[in-house]
């Protein structure tokens, strides 16, 4: 009986042709060490030996006892899919377990291995022959032949396919051994690279003390060895609410990512690691939960590994690694990186300590230089001298505010002793053991004032050949006295306001925030309220300075202090000139008390120094002619100006029926603020007459 078309068996090949084909297969086996290349060669050679439409390879995975489909080849295309199935659910698993061929003449009639056979039917396979791949050393898996025709494989064909399968098994075993050797070699090379990284890090830690240079070396080395795409180091700013990003090394356009930017710690992976002290691995989904504000999506990163840098039980920062592929970091990577980050933490803490010591040393040098200049500079007084009621009043105010640390605004005419009062406040304050730093804002060119106050980095501007510490840093934990604060230019006033409010600033040419704790005392001989009205001085800065105002009266308003000051200055300059002056004529003292002293205490001091030079005996010889002539001019000028202003104010008060503020009030008539008018009335001694 003749077989039907569906039952037609594959005709046997002539033995000579079969042996020739096997010889060619053996030659192919001897040249290939890559499984996909081997199968591609077999798919070209075997059709001359065996009729099939599909060829596939399934290997046993011993660690999990699974059958893994690796390669499916058809004449049209190759599918390199990886599909895992249990031994029981796979026809190849049955072949591997029983070490017998499995022939399925009609896929539609086979009720076992439903899922696996559906996959084969999806490739157009209707009948199959699956044979074990076994060598003398081990059972590897199975190789399958498929045909689009049902009943394509008979007994004679199966016997020959077993010979073919043995040759394929040898080839696969050789390829697997070759791959294992390559993997081992790569692993050994990877381990060598990692050990070299540890050595390089040790060398960097030992040899590099500059913090930013150390960060760049660490970041580049770690990214190269870990084969990741991004690396950075984050350190918390003082207070822990902000993080500063250092050494951003990115494989794709890293030069465009600015370093030393400051970002909030809240809502960031690094912020969580700083709190927990535990490493954190995030894949694409984990990163998505943090939102797009991380900028990681803009960089295209799909994986992130954040590791804590711990030194002496304290988390001092984080090492952050990123990958452009999902799942780039494994638990094994973290184990190695924890060893790396422990070494990094040592180097980072050493560099931080070195930087702090360098800054402290630089500050001490600047402080020493400043104090040397202070010693060379002769101050007006060593102490506040006088016993007038006006002087006692301001000294009482100074005694109240000194221990509070609050900002003080000292107002008064030039030469009235504002700096002397500021030094007296410092001496009885909690900052008295630290430096008192003074700067006259009117005496420094406008372009250099910012550098003097806040310092600058090397190269910040032409002539900046070295880093300079400003007066605010120099007065850290001490007192900074800003004399003539009204002369600070408008464009610099916001930066001064920020220091007062936040106690932070940046040096010129730097984006690194410097935190200071400086007590500020300001002084001015100008009317700041009037300057605020004319938009020459910021109102918010004025209110911040005017926390505790002290008005120093001019010397002409406290004549009872003049004898004590004259005696003090006479004794001071006589000792310096090696003279013995112990007498001041009463007439001379009366003349000195009557003189208005427009230059206040400073003018008196200079006048007594000149008189001491002229004195040849024990009695102070004062050039009264200069005093009288100058007094007449000054009194006349002072009287004219004061009388004119007084008359104008009194006239406005009378017209407003002595109402100071509000619509139609005297302040509105004069174009002044109510507080300014009140200040001028007190200065000129204007009061409402009693009925």
- Of 560, 643, 633, the C-alpha closest to 599 is 633
CA distance 640 to 647: 11
- For residue 589, being part of any structural domain is answered with no
Where does the pLDDT of residue 421 fall: very low under 50, low under 70, confident under 90, or very high at 90 and above?
very high
* Same-domain status, 442 and 504: yes
* Same-domain status, 385 and 284: no
Where does the pLDDT of residue 617 fall: very low under 50, low under 70, confident under 90, or very high at 90 and above?
confident
Query: Residue 154: phi, psi to the nearest 5?
Result: -105, -175
Among 536, 551, 566, which residue terminates a domain? Answer: 551
State pLDDT tens for residues 525-581.
989 998 999 888 999 999 999 999 999 989 988 999 999 999 899 989 999 999 999
Q: Which residue has the tokens 């539609």?
A: 108
Say which CATH number the domain at 668 has: 1.10.10
- For residue 201, being part of any structural domain is answered with no
Between 288 and 472, where is the model more confident? 472
* Same-domain status, 131 and 238: no
* Same-domain status, 338 and 391: no
- For residue 493, being part of any structural domain is answered with yes
CA distance 544 to 527: 16
Q: What is the dihedral of CA 142, 143, 146, 152, to 10 degrees?
A: -80
- Of 678, 639, 645, 644, the C-alpha closest to 556 is 639
* Same-domain status, 433 and 510: yes
The per-residue pLDDT for 8 is 44
Query: Residue 688: phi, psi to the nearest 5?
Result: -70, 130
The per-residue pLDDT for 15 is 59
Nearest 5 degrees, angle CA 300-CA 304-CA 308? Answer: 145
* Same-domain status, 84 and 39: yes
Q: What is the mean pLDDT of residues 341-346?
A: 76
State pLDDT tens for residues 218-273.
776 676 666 778 888 888 887 778 888 876 777 765 444 566 678 888 888 888 99
State pLDDT tens for residues 48-105.
777 788 888 899 999 889 999 877 776 566 665 678 899 999 999 999 999 999 999 9
The per-residue pLDDT for 194 is 65
Say which CATH number the domain at 132 has: 3.30.450.40
Judged on CB neighbours under 10 Å (0-12, 13-18, 19+), 71 is buried
> At residue 443, does pLDDT exceed 90?
no
* Same-domain status, 237 and 283: yes
- Under 8 Å between Cβ of 168 and 50: no
- For residue 121, being part of any structural domain is answered with yes
The radius of gyration of the chain from alpha carbons, rounded to an integer in Å, stands at: 46
* Same-domain status, 217 and 340: yes
> At residue 206, does pLDDT exceed 70?
no
User: Dihedral sign, CA of 175, 177, 181, 184?
Assistant: positive
> At residue 492, does pLDDT exceed 50?
yes
DSSP label at residue 380: S
The per-residue pLDDT for 124 is 86
Q: What is the mean pLDDT of residues 171-177?
A: 85
β-pairing verdict for 504-506 and 513-515: antiparallel
Q: What one-character-per-residue DSSP string does 564-598 give?
A: HHHHHHHHHHHHHTT----B--HHHHHHHHHS--T
Over the chain, what is the mean pLDDT? 80
The per-residue pLDDT for 267 is 81
Among 551, 582, 598, which residue terminates a domain? Answer: 551
Where does the pLDDT of residue 483 fall: very low under 50, low under 70, confident under 90, or very high at 90 and above?
very high
Q: What is the mean pLDDT of residues 443-450?
A: 82
CA distance 481 to 298: 48
- For residue 237, being part of any structural domain is answered with yes
> At residue 13, does pLDDT exceed 70?
no
Q: At what angle do helices 155-207 and 35-45 cross, to 10 degrees?
A: 160
The per-residue pLDDT for 675 is 74
Between 162 and 460, where is the model more confident? 162
- The backbone region for 327, taken as left when phi is positive above 0, alpha when psi lies in -120 to 50, beta otherwise, is left
The per-residue pLDDT for 317 is 87
Say which CATH number the domain at 425 has: 3.40.50.300
State pLDDT tens for residues 309-342.
888 888 888 888 888 888 888 877 788 778 777 7
Among 528, 551, 574, which residue terminates a domain? Answer: 551
Task: Identify the top-confidence range among 11-25, 354-368, 399-413, 655-669.
Answer: 399-413
How many domains does one find in the chain?
Answer: 4
As a whole-number percent, the residues of the chain with pLDDT over 70 amount to 80
Nearest 5 degrees, angle CA 336-CA 341-CA 347? Answer: 140
Lowest mean pLDDT among 49-58, 215-224, 272-281, 486-495: 215-224
- Under 8 Å between Cβ of 165 and 99: no
The per-residue pLDDT for 75 is 56
CA separation, residue 281 to residues 42, 78, 304, 327, 329 (Å): 44, 36, 6, 9, 7
- Of 95, 62, 56, the C-alpha closest to 79 is 56
- Of 497, 474, 498, 284, the C-alpha closest to 371 is 474
* Same-domain status, 326 and 386: no
Both tokens of 282, joined, read 């995030």
State pLDDT tens for residues 365-415.
665 555 545 544 444 334 578 888 888 888 899 999 999 999 999 999 988
The per-residue pLDDT for 673 is 75
- For residue 62, being part of any structural domain is answered with yes
Q: Taking the chain, what is the end-to-end CA distance rounded to the nearest angstrom?
A: 149
Where does the pLDDT of residue 479 fall: very low under 50, low under 70, confident under 90, or very high at 90 and above?
very high
The per-residue pLDDT for 340 is 76
Q: What is the mean pLDDT of residues 570-597?
A: 89
The per-residue pLDDT for 459 is 78
Where does the pLDDT of residue 643 fall: very low under 50, low under 70, confident under 90, or very high at 90 and above?
low
* Same-domain status, 30 and 137: yes
Where does the pLDDT of residue 634 fall: very low under 50, low under 70, confident under 90, or very high at 90 and above?
very low
Residue range of the domain that includes 395: 378-551
- For residue 642, being part of any structural domain is answered with yes
The per-residue pLDDT for 297 is 61
Tell me the three-class secondary structure of 266-333, residue by residue.
CCCHHHHHHHHCCCEEECHHHHHHCCHHHCHHHHCCCEEEEEEEEECCEEEEEEEEEECCCCCCCHHH
- Under 8 Å between Cβ of 309 and 235: no
* Same-domain status, 332 and 267: yes
Q: Which residue has the tokens 């065996």?
A: 50
- Of 604, 603, 686, 691, the C-alpha closest to 642 is 686
Q: State which H helix or E strand residue 632 sits in.
A: helix 624-655
CA separation, residue 7 to residues 109, 154, 159, 162, 212 (Å): 14, 10, 19, 22, 79
Task: Identify the top-confidence range among 175-179, 208-212, 256-260, 275-279.
Answer: 275-279
* Same-domain status, 39 and 157: yes
CA distance 145 to 215: 58
CA distance 545 to 496: 10
Both tokens of 46, joined, read 């075997």
For 420, the 3-state DSSP assignment is helix
Judged on CB neighbours under 10 Å (0-12, 13-18, 19+), 163 is middle
- For residue 593, being part of any structural domain is answered with no
CA distance 477 to 431: 7
């Amino acid at each position: 009986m003749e077989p039907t078309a569906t039952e037609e068996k594959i005709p046997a090949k002539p033995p000579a042709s079969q042996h020739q084909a096997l010889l060619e297969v053996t030659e192919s086996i001897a040249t290939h060490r890559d499984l996909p290349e081997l199968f591609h060669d077999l798919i070209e050679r075997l059709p001359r030996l065996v009729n099939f439409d599909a060829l596939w390879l399934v290997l046993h995975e011993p660690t999990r006892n699974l059958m893994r489909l690796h390669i499916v080849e058809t004449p049209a295309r190759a599918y390199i899919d990886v599909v895992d199935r249990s031994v029981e659910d796979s026809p190849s698993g049955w072949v591997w377990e029983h070490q017998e061929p499995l022939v399925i003449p009609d896929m539609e009639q086979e009720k076992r291995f439903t899922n696996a056979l559906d996959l084969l039917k999806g490739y157009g396979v209707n009948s199959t022959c699956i044979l074990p791949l076994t060598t003398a050393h081990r059972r590897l898996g199975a190789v399958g032949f498929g045909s689009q025709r049902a009943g394509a494989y008979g007994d004679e064909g199966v016997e020959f396919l077993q010979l073919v399968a043995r040759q394929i098994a040898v080839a696969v075993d050789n390829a697997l051994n070759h791959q294992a050797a390559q993997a081992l070699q790569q692993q050994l090379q990877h381990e060598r690279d990692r050990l070299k990284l540890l050595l390089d890090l040790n060398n960097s830690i030992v040899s590099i003390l500059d913090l930013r240079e150390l960060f760049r070396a660490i970041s580049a080395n770690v990214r190269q060895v870990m084969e990741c795409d991004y690396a950075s180091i984050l350190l918390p700013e003082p207070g822990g609410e902000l993080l500063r990003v250092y050494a951003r090394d990115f494989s794709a356009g890293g030069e465009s990512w600015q370093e030393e930017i400051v970002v909030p710690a809240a809502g960031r992976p690094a912020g969580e690691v700083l709190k927990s002290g535990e490493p954190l691995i995030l894949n694409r989904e984990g990163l998505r939960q943090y939102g797009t504000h991380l900028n990681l999506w803009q960089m295209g990163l799909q994986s992130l590994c954040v590791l804590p840098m711990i030194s002496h039980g304290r988390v001092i920062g984080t090492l952050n690694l990123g990958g452009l592929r999902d799942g780039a970091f494994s638990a094994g990577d973290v184990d190695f990186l924890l060893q790396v980050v422990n070494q990094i933490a040592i180097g980072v803490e050493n560099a931080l300590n070195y930087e702090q010591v360098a800054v402290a040393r630089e500050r001490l040098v600047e402080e020493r230089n400043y104090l040397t200049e202070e010693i060379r500079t002769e101050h007006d007084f060593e102490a506040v001298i006088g016993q007038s009621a006006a002087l006692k009043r301001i000294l009482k105010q100074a005694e109240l505010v000194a221990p509070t640390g609050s900002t003080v605004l000292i107002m008064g005419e030039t030469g009235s002793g504002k700096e002397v009062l500021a030094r007296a406040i410092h001496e009885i304050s909690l900052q008295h053991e630290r430096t008192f730093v003074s700067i006259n804002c009117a005496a420094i060119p406008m372009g250099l004032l910012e550098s003097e106050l806040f310092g600058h980095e090397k190269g910040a501007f032409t002539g900046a050949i070295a880093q300079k510490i400003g007066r605010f840093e120099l007065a850290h934990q001490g007192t900074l006295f800003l004399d003539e604060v009204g002369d600070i230019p408008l464009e610099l006033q916001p930066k001064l306001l920020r220091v007062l409010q936040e106690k932070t600033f940046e040096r010129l040419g730097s984006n690194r925030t410097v935190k200071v704790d400086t007590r500020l005392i300001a002084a001015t001989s100008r009317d700041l309220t009037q300057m605020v009205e004319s938009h020459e001085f910021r109102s918010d800065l004025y209110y911040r300075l005017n926390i505790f105002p002290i008005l120093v009266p001019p010397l002409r308003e406290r004549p009872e202090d003049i004898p004590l000051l004259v005696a003090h200055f006479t004794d001071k300059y006589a000792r310096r000139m090696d003279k013995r002056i112990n007498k001041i004529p009463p007439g001379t003292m009366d003349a000195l008390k009557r003189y208005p002293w427009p230059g206040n205490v400073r003018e008196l001091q200079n006048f007594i120094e000149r008189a001491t030079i002229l004195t040849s005996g024990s009695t102070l010889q004062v050039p009264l002619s200069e005093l009288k002539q100058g007094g007449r001019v000054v009194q006349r000028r002072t009287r004219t100006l004061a009388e004119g202003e007084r008359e104008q104010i009194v006239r406005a008060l009378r017209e407003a029926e002595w109402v100071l503020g509000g619509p139609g009030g005297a302040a509105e008539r004069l174009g002044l603020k109510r507080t300014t008018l009140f200040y001028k009335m007190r200065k000129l001694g204007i009061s409402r007459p009693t009925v």
